[in-house]
Amino acid sequence: MRVHKVIDPVTGQTSWTVVGPDHLPVDPVESFLVYLVAIGRSPNTVRTYAYALAQYMRFLEGSRLRWREVRLEDLAAFVTWLRRPVDDHVVVSLKDRRSANTVNKTLAAVSAFYDYHVINGCEVAEQLTVWRDIAGKRYKPFLHHVSKGRPVRRRALKVQPTDRLPQVLQPDQVAAILAACRRRRDLFLFALLFETGMRIGQALGLRHEDMTTWDGTVRIVPRDDNANGARAKTRLSAATFVEDGDVTLGEDVIGCGQGCAPAVAG
């Protein structure tokens, strides 16, 4: 199973597909990936799901299983397969094992794949999920007001993740990064990320009209047509505030194009 990048000749939109040993798209995976594109999922999301499902289909092929006939115990075997660096039970590999978080992301893709095929009459998906009551939970899913008081479906298999605290840059480390910037573009990008906590996709998708000098407002606007392919993680617009100097620098950088003049970090 291989993952290939594809580009729509009409729209120029980027997507991904999974091809089998016959060099043809794997039909159940292809229809799911096409669905993701149709509902506006980002190319990065489609790519992640494509690679996860390529692994899953490779496992099914090696285990002589059909995707419509998988049981929960088969998914458990898939988890074991994911956490083993090589397919051979005898050879001990020195490669790093996949983390619990990586395994869970793969399982999430497989779960979404089966959820999609429920509407196409795939009954096996019901065996791979459990119904749980969400009463007392702080998180409320979409349309909770409609399903309030009813159990919701969750995937039955999940690997216990390893709790790891995120690493945070210290002020002296940030100062060193800013001092090392040789172009105003780079200085603006790192200063903006440090001051606002914006995601990299949000920062790279900024345009001149998103910044207001007089009040230091920077608007985060989700777009699908950025020339650099950047996309905001959320589909909701938002606003953040930065120092006047950063906004002015940003307007200069975006207005003049690429790297512009060398930076002077102060």
pLDDT of residue 139: 47
Q: Which two tokens stand for residue 46?
A: 């489609």
Query: What is the reported pLDDT for 46?
Result: 92
Arch. (CATH architecture) of 2-155? Orthogonal Bundle (1.10)
Structure token digits, residue 69 = 């006939």
Weakly modelled stretches of the chain, pLDDT under 70:
85-97, 125-163, 243-266
Q: Which residues contact 116 (CB under 8 A, 6 or more apart)?
A: 31, 32, 35
pLDDT at position 85 is 56
On whether the CB atoms of residues 217 and 239 are closer than 8 A, the answer is yes
Domain 171-256: assigned CATH number: 1.10.443.10
CA–chain centroid gap for 110, Å, is 14
117 token code pair: 């095929």
Distance CA 115, CA 53 (A): 14
CA 161 to chain centre: 18
Every domain of the chain and the residues it spans: 2-155, 171-256
> Residue 14 has what pLDDT?
81
Amino acid 54: pLDDT = 95
The predicted-structure confidence for 42-99, as pLDDT tens digits, reads as follows 888 899 999 999 999 999 999 999 998 888 888 889 988 988 755 544 444 445 567 7
Q: What is the pLDDT of residue 12?
A: 75
7-24 confidence digits (pLDDT tens): 888 877 788 899 988 889
Helix (H, G, I), strand (E, B) or coil at 208: helix
pTM above 0.95?
A: no
The yes-or-no answer to whether 2-155 and 171-256 have a common fold is: no
Cβ atoms of 80 and 20 within 8 Å: the answer is: no
One-letter amino acid for residue 209 of the chain = E
Rounded Cα–Cα distance for residues 182 and 265 (Å): 9
